[in-house]
């Protein structure tokens, strides 16, 4: 897997994203292996993993909710939406619901600014969201 990207510039991020795509998450045991294969320090690999929010070291929840908190969405109620959805799901930003089925994450722009507040549920972008709509989308996406 590393060989596919060994000679690309900036290959560490590409390798990590590819591994996560294939495995679902980046097990911390991969850090020394990737570091060795790319002739990097463990600290460099760990630093990249912890810097990028889209890289994760634990398996994701089956349903992923990402709510935009950028300026355009914030100006039309994103903060209240995040608060209300979090309270109703019983999850904090960056966490999961008590049953482990839904993760709640923040994102800073989904490119859907004219239709804010925007969010993403299971990879699909939605606009003009309110808490009821988010919860309905979550209910439909739950396994």
Q: Per residue in 18-54, pLDDT tens? A: 999 999 999 999 999 999 999 999 999 999 999 998 8
Residue 79 and residue 112 in one domain: yes
**pLDDT tens per residue across span 110-132:** 999 999 999 999 999 999 999 99
Whether residue 87 is found in the same domain as residue 124: yes
The total of structural domains in the chain comes to 2
Round to whole Å and give the CA distance between 131 and 33.
43
Are 82 and 105 spatial neighbours (Cβ–Cβ below 8 Å)? no
- My answer on whether 46 and 90 are in the same domain is no
117: preceding bond cis by omega (within 30 degrees)? yes
pLDDT of 1 reads 67
Mean pLDDT of the chain: 93
56 within a domain of the structure (yes/no): no
* Per-residue CA distances from 4 to 1, 10, 25 (Å): 6, 13, 19
Q: Do 40 and 79 fall into the same domain?
A: no
Burial of 114 (0-12, 13-18, 19+ CB in 10 A): exposed
Task: For residues 106 and 133, state if they share a domain.
Answer: yes
Please check whether residues 132 and 92 belong to one and the same domain.
yes
Question: Do both 67 and 137 map to the same domain?
Answer: yes
Kindly state whether residues 79 and 119 are assigned to the same domain: yes
The percent of the chain in helix, strand and coil, each rounded to the nearest 5, is: 45, 15, 40
- Is 57 within a domain? no
Predicted model pTM? 0.78
Same domain for 8 and 70, yes or no, is no
* 127 belongs to a structural domain: yes
pLDDT-based confidence at residue 140 (cuts at 50, 70, 90)? very high
What digits encode the pLDDT tens for the residues 6-20? 777 779 999 999 999
Domain range for 40: 2-51
Torsion from C-alpha of 112, 116, 117, 122, nearest 10 degrees: -30
123: domain CATH number is: 3.40.30.10
Same domain, 75 and 44: no
């Amino acid at each position: 897997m590393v060989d596919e990207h060994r000679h690309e510039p900036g290959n560490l991020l590409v390798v990590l994203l590819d591994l996560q795509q294939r495995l679902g998450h980046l097990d911390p045991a991969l850090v020394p292996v990737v570091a060795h294969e790319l002739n990097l320090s463990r600290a460099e690999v760990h630093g990249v993993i912890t810097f990028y929010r889209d890289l994760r070291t634990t398996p994701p929840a089956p349903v992923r909710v990402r709510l935009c908190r950028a300026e355009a969405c914030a100006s039309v109620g994103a903060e209240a939406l995040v608060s209300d959805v979090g309270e109703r799901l019983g999850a904090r930003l960056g966490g999961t619901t008590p049953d482990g089925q839904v993760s709640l994450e923040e994102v800073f722009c989904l490119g859907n600014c004219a239709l804010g507040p925007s969010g993403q549920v299971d990879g699909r972008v939605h606009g003009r969201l309110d808490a009821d709509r988010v919860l309905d989308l979550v209910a439909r996406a739950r396994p």
